[in-house]
Amino acid sequence: MIIAGTSIPVAFTFFAALLVAAAPDRQLCGDAENIADKIPSCKVTATPGPFQPALFNVSKWIWTGENAVPGGVNPVGVRAFRKNITAPCGKCAVHATIIAASDNTHVFYVNGVEIGAGAGWSKGQVLYAALRPSSNLFAIAGGNIPPGGPAGVIASILIHYADGSTDTFITDETWRTVAGAAPPQHFQLPATDDSKWGFAALQGIYAKSRWGAVALPPVLSFNDSKWIWSSDHKNGVAPKGIRAFRKTVNECAKVAVSATVLIIADDSYTLYVNGEKVGAGNSYTRSQAWTILNLHPTFNTFAVSAGNVGGPAGVLATILITYSDGSNQTVVTDGSWKAIQNVPKGFELPFVDEAEWEDAKVVGPFGIGPWGKGAVVPLA
């Protein structure tokens, strides 16, 4: 049936009304679409799973070749590097985990958008980006600062495909560069013609070059996250039992693609995203990281069921959401999360009436006792 004077089916109107009634304070974004809406074959079938590190172990240090001696002294200045990576036939790229380091500085771009900048060769930097299904342009502006000296950039790019498979790409001699010149205008844009550029020059193999091994960065940081629990956590102690927590991210102006979650709990947790179980853990000394590739374009609910067997209790998490425009958003556990002591059936589902839920109680910032800052965090 169609409502008179409109093209809106009655069934859809009724369903939408139910959703609004279940979540009265949330705006539903009806006009957003993900890539699968445009390319049905790119529907994400990958299930959420443990974070997979990118690793530097097969990467190469590269520069322009202005000095023919690998690892030799190079002029001061910024140089451009770029590589177009095309997905294999039948696969659709979704998400990239990137680790990078430089001597001395780097700015990293994906499809023309700056996704991060860093400096130094002793410790790598981790970056995350949503990808286009077929072709993606990765670009680096590498800097050699005064007084000059050896120069290089190194990176490893782990690409996740919609079917759950992955490929790793590295900086090597197939990257394009322009020797002896500052980056050309729009060097980071996919449309820029680099067919007349030269190729990067090898400066050394990872761990066997003058720079040695590069320390890997953590997947994410807990520094801005808060330990949370329900309001019955008092004087450093919480009753035994299960509590539930949830946080909905409703971003109508962007299209969410993927999420990386770092989480730990005292004593145990099970993590859900949009009602789907992601994973579980039961150690307050070792955190875990998870990758979710099938986010809803605009409305995503992160839910946690956490258990306490006695004594202190808490959940600590950092979530990084990547968007199709190249931006990202960090969500942390804090007082904006919702909590409930009597956990209802379906607490993990996206549309839940939270009228009986309370604001999560902030037990304390990351580093507070008894947990401190000693928990093991997975490396990227």
| The pLDDT value given to residue 38 | 65
DSSP symbol at 10: H
What does the pLDDT read at residue 224?
98
Return d(Cα 253, Cα 54) in angstroms, integer. 30
pTM given for the model: 0.90
- pLDDT band at residue 30, thresholds of 50, 70 and 90? low
Distance CA(248)–CA(338), nearest Å, equals 9
C-alpha dihedral sign at 219, 302, 93, 297:
negative
Q: What values do phi and psi take at 367, rounded to 5?
A: 105, -15
**Interval 192-251: pLDDT, tens:** 999 999 999 999 999 999 999 999 999 999 999 999 999 999 999 999 999 999 999 999
Tens-place pLDDT, residues 239-287: 999 999 999 999 999 999 999 999 999 999 999 999 999 999 999 999 9
The DSSP string of 219-261 is: SS--TT-EEEE-TT-BTTB--SEEEEEEEEEE-TTS-EEEEEE
- Cα distances (Å, whole numbers) of residue 140 to 118, 125, 181, 341: 11, 13, 14, 49
Q: How far apart are CA 296 and CA 44, in angstroms?
A: 11
Q: Which ranges in the chain are annotated with CATH 2.60.120.260?
A: 49-205, 219-365
Residue 148 pLDDT > 80, yes or no?
Answer: yes
Scored b (16 or more CB within 10 A) or e, 282-311 reads eebeebbbbbbbbbbbbbbbbbbbbbbeee
Q: How confident is the model at residue 35 (pLDDT cuts 50, 70, 90)?
A: low
According to CATH, the topology of domain 49-205 is: Jelly Rolls (2.60.120)
| Mean pLDDT for all residues in the chain | 92
219-365 in CATH: which number? 2.60.120.260
Tell me the helices (H) and strands (E) count for the chain, helix number first: 2, 27
